[in-house]
Amino acid sequence: MNPRVAYFSMEIALDPAVPTYAGGLGVLAGDTLLSAADLGLPMVGLTLLYRQGYFRQQLDTTGVQRELPEQWRPEELLDPVEPRVTVEIEDRAIRVRAWRWQVRGITGHVVPVYLLDTALEENPAWDRTLTDSLYGGDERYRLCQEVVLGIGGVRMLLALGNGAIETFHMNEGHAALLSVALVEQRLAGRPLSAATRDDLEALRRRCVFTTHTPVPAGHDQFSRELTERVLGRERTEALERAQRFHDGMLNMTNLGLHASHYINGVGMRHGEVSRSMFPSYPVRAITNGVHAARWTSTPFAALYDRHIPEWRRDNLYLRYAVGIGLEEIAAAHAEAKRVLLDEIQEHSGVALDPKLFTIGFARRATGYKRPELLLADLDRLRSIASRMGPFQVIYAGKAHPQDKSGRDSIQRVFQAARELAGHVPVVYVENYDLHRACFLTAGVDLWLNTPQRPQEASGTSGMKAALNGVPSLSVLDGWWLEGHVEGVTGWAIGHDENGPANTAVEVASLYEKLESVILPMFYGRPEAYRAVMRSAIALNGSFFNTQRMLRQYAQNAYGIEC
Ligand SMILES: *Cc1c(COP(=O)(O)O)cnc(C)c1O
């Protein structure tokens, strides 16, 4: 089947052995392509190869993060493909090759993913490093990578014989330069200055843009000077004529928005927030999901296979989890918890107690995710543990190497862990990745999320937890606004509806929910807790998956039946 949709993403988490992702954006891209294969969608994925991966996180005893390269051997895992294409960068002609990974769906349908690579002998030394590291290097390096992805990707698709692509889906602004390549392709050798309004309309009919975050760092901008240096004068002047520079900067989100007929945020609230950020564009919303089979732990998968065997083919059947007995839910969860505690013992040498209420918090360590919110008042935590029942906390997450506040927050968690020792065990699991995310989201008793509103566009780790019967305690932001039913699928951390953001109000609510609602239920009314676990699966697992999400993209953005 010829691909009709090309999905471009700066990072894609395809497999634990392929470290070509940093976090949520890449995991979403991987889950999307897995679901495309399951649904038989005619899709193809494009990304870069990253021979050094993102990085392997090492933490010393005080929580200082070191970054080591994550070396892997693409040759052993991927198939080389023949064609080579050329992209012009800084007036040099750089050769690009591709490696193929095949995502095979449950019915055997294959979605190919091409990982672009410039490490070819005919390229100059620096250019060979362009596809080495994800989010490494300076602005020049990043812009060159975006040329390889956007322009190299479009040319590679053509060279591979994929001339019938109807839709180019940009997963975030990093891929926005594909719009330049598409216009050039249409002009067939005529200069960009010859492009007409019709050419722009034709481009728009082919492009879809998804924005993933309201946080400024998620929106790349490059100066006019750097743009001209990397892209050359003709393209830069064409972008200028199209009024793509604002205050002297080329904003890649803006470029992607301008090129697309369908634009969306990744949740209801994020759609609203994005509309106010980009008032001249019709921003819609399609809420994210996760790939159900990938994120369901072995014991829960076996449970679903027994009771609702259709669940892998059609995730909506997870709604029938309401028919599964609470004892069976409890037994599957006990098994997932044992796997988690075994892994922690092996990796960290810490023996946690399976009987203790266990809270999980794992995601990128960065300012707005506020990993320390739970640790705001250590006396209060000690007091809750001694009066309402003991609990333990498991943290994980990498900080971006240049994110000083994120790095500092890991150290503050370590500091608090030392101060809580003997009262509340706190473990920080090193090197959060796909594998660790699987056992963490499945094995804890409560998934905690404390982002600064309204900066969590979606968040997906709570969806992974829900598939494993793990309820969330979360700030009402991102997906939780849609997935939260108080006391049914989990609990909300309250905030001041009217006043400005007030951390103290959120901290008070967090402690209050733990102390008065959640711990008393867990230890005093275990049946009631298990009923919440089951509702998390039935209500949230059945909806917050990439199968439902991709059907919405197909129907609303791609114009394909599926
Ligand atoms: C799911 C996942 C994330 C994203 O989690 P959020 O809750 O969206 O922040 C990040 N990293 C890894 C390894 C994941 O599996």
Q: 400: CA distance to ligand 1 center in Å?
A: 14
The ligand 1 atom at the shortest distance from the C-alpha of residue 433 is 13
Residue 505 and residue 487: Cα distance in Å, rounded? 20
| pLDDT digit string, tens, across residues 161-176 | 998 999 999 999 999 9
The finding on whether 111 has its CB within 6 A of some atom of ligand 1 is no
| pLDDT digit string, tens, across residues 513-553 | 999 999 999 999 999 999 999 999 999 999 999 999 999 99
pLDDT at position 85 is 98
Backbone angles phi, psi at 58, to 5 degrees: -120, 135
The finding on whether 370 has its CB within 6 A of some atom of ligand 1 is no
Q: What angle do CA 159, 16, 12 make, to 5 degrees?
A: 40
Q: CA nearest 468: which of 361, 335, 352?
A: 335
| pLDDT digit string, tens, across residues 250-298 | 999 999 999 999 999 999 999 999 999 999 999 999 999 999 999 999 9
Atom 8 of ligand 1, residue of closest alpha carbon: 459
Q: 317: CA distance to ligand 1 center in Å?
A: 25
Q: What is the pTM of this model?
A: 0.98
514: tokens are 């733990």
Fold of 292-544: Rossmann fold (3.40.50)
524: tokens are 């005093």
19, 24, 29, 32 alpha-carbon torsion, rounded to 10°: 120
| pLDDT digit string, tens, across residues 465-496 | 999 999 999 999 999 999 999 999 999 999 98
The finding on whether 263 has its CB within 6 A of some atom of ligand 1 is no
pLDDT at position 498 is 81
The finding on whether 23 has its CB within 6 A of some atom of ligand 1 is yes
| pLDDT digit string, tens, across residues 239-248 | 999 999 999 9
The finding on whether 13 has its CB within 6 A of some atom of ligand 1 is no
Q: 276: CA distance to ligand 1 center in Å?
A: 26
Fold of 5-46+137-289+549-558: Rossmann fold (3.40.50)
pLDDT at position 216 is 83
pLDDT at position 300 is 98
The finding on whether 228 has its CB within 6 A of some atom of ligand 1 is no
| pLDDT at residue 142 greater than cutoff 80 | yes
Query: Which positions ≥6 away from 360 have C-beta within 8 Å?
Result: 393, 394, 440, 441, 443, 444, 446, 447, 448, 465, 470
Atom 1 of ligand 1, residue of closest alpha carbon: 461
Percentage, residues of the chain above pLDDT 90: 96
Q: 34: CA distance to ligand 1 center in Å?
A: 16
Residue 169 CA: distances (Å) to CA of 24, 44, 152, 537: 18, 10, 15, 30
Q: Where are the domains of the chain?
A: 5-46+137-289+549-558, 292-544
Q: 32: CA distance to ligand 1 center in Å?
A: 14
pLDDT at position 170 is 98
Q: 16: CA distance to ligand 1 center in Å?
A: 13
407: tokens are 């790095």
Average pLDDT, the chain: 97
Q: 185: CA distance to ligand 1 center in Å?
A: 36
Quick one: pLDDT band at residue 420, thresholds 50, 70, 90?
Answer: very high
Please indicate whether the domains covering 5-46+137-289+549-558 and 292-544 agree at the CATH topology level. yes
